Structure 1
Amino acid sequence: MSNPNAEEYTFYLVGKPEDFSERLGRVVRLGEVELAVFKTTDGKIYALENQSPGPRGGTIAEGIISGDVLFDPICDWKIGLADGLVHAPDTGQVRVYPVQVLEDEVRIGLPKREGGTLHD
């Protein structure tokens, strides 16, 4: 997600950049939201809803990334990490969440309009 308005999100600390392995997904739970977090070989970190848009459903955290594309482990669809869009000829979209890497902290934003608070 490019340049999200920080005022629309509450950002939560999820770790340090080195906590995330390159090209592999990691599941992060923020309250009731389950995310798949990926780190590219150039150090960019992306957060997507951990739900495959494919007809068989499933999760995407087990997928592998190449560049800024995620290969869905269930359907073998290609999904853009930045926008969550499924590449043609398939269609669909995965929800993406803004990520901030400030100093040595990785934070992920949840929309305030959806509560923006964590419930344990």
Structure 2
Amino acid sequence: MMEPIMNKNEYTYYLVGNVDDFTERLGRVVRLGNEEIAIFKTTDGHIYALENKSPGPRGGTIAEGIISGDVLFDPICDWKISLTDGQVLDPDTGQVRTYPVQVHVEEVRVGLLKNGREISHE
């Protein structure tokens, strides 16, 4: 079940690097508290943050996945995952938790909910 869209004021944003710190089409893992987050930059410059956990039956991480457009190819089971909302694309099913990203003056910040609840969709 998806969470409702949250108000931006419900998040605390944490600096995770500069835009140039992220290589296009490759993931980079950052830790924010207990969260392990995979950050991806697309060839058009958009930056996305997803939980670094494969939704596939074998588990694993997704940071080693390859990006094509706004789709991540899961490195373990080759499932296609939308970077925009974390949804696994047909014919497979599942979802990866996503985190809001803010880019301001080349600084990249990732948002975590202030009350600590997990989110499944921004």
Give yes or no for the alignment of 1:86 onto 2:88: yes
Note the aligned Cα RMSD (angstroms).
1.2
Return 5+ residue gaps in structure 2 as ranges.
Answer: 118-122
Aligned to 1:32: 34
- Using structure 2 for the length normalisation, give the TM-score: 0.90
- CA distance in 1 between counterparts of 2:96 and 2:42 reads 18
The letter for the 1-side match of 2:97 is R
Partners of 1:26 and 1:100 lie apart in 2 by: 16
1:2-54 superposed Cα distances (whole Å, 9 cap, x missing partner):
x8522110000001000000000000100110000000000000000000000
Give, in whole Å, the separation in 1 of the partners of 2:10 and 2:54: 25
Could you tell me which residue of structure 2 aligns to residue 49 of structure 1? 51
* Secondary structure of 2:115's aligned partner: helix
How far 1:77 moved relative to its partner?
0.1
Q: Tell me which of 66, 69, 80 is aligned to 2:68.
A: 66
Would you say how many aligned residue pairs link Structure 1 and Structure 2? 113
Report percent identity of matched pairs: 74
Q: Which residue of 2 aligns with 1:10?
A: 12
Q: Distance in 1 between matches of 2:76 and 2:65?
A: 8
Give the distance between the partners of 2:24 and 2:6, measured in 1 at CA. Answer: 24
- Contact 1:25–1:61 at 8 Å: present in 2 too? yes
Map of 2:120 onto structure 1: none
Q: What one-letter code is carried by the residue in structure 1 that aligns with 2:85? A: D
